Amino acid sequence: MAPIAQALKEGNSKVLAQYFDNELDLTFSDKTNSYSRKQAQIILERFFSKEGPRNYVQMQASTSGSNNTRFSIGKLYTSGGEYRVYMFFVYKSGQYYLKELRFEK
């Protein structure tokens, strides 16, 4: 989780994309779409460029032993305001991949 938190803090979509599942559900406020890893990276690159991330603080995280999923909730502080960030991970081939990423203002 630390590399993902650092990537959010720095607004580094390339590092973040390394942890994406093949398809990512990406939500900004109330608009959700599914994107390929590359498409999601480009969209996040534009978002980070526009919003100017300054800091990210993880507030809560947990792993479910029964279905090998993980979630994390945090706050992204940007020059455009604060966003609550929800992340949902799935476990595949010995690693957790980001399946859902939500930004809510």
Give tens-digit pLDDT for 80-92: 999 999 999 999 9
Residues of the chain with pLDDT > 70, as a percent, come to: 100
Distance (Å, whole) CA 2 – CA 74: 12
Q: Tell me the residue type at 3.
A: P
pTM for the predicted model, two decimal places: 0.92
Q: Is the pLDDT of residue 64 over 80?
A: yes
CATH number of the domain located at residue range(s) 2-104 in this protein: 3.10.450.50
Mean pLDDT (the chain, rounded) = 95
Which structure tokens are listed for 29? 């406020």
What average pLDDT does the segment 34-54 reach? 97
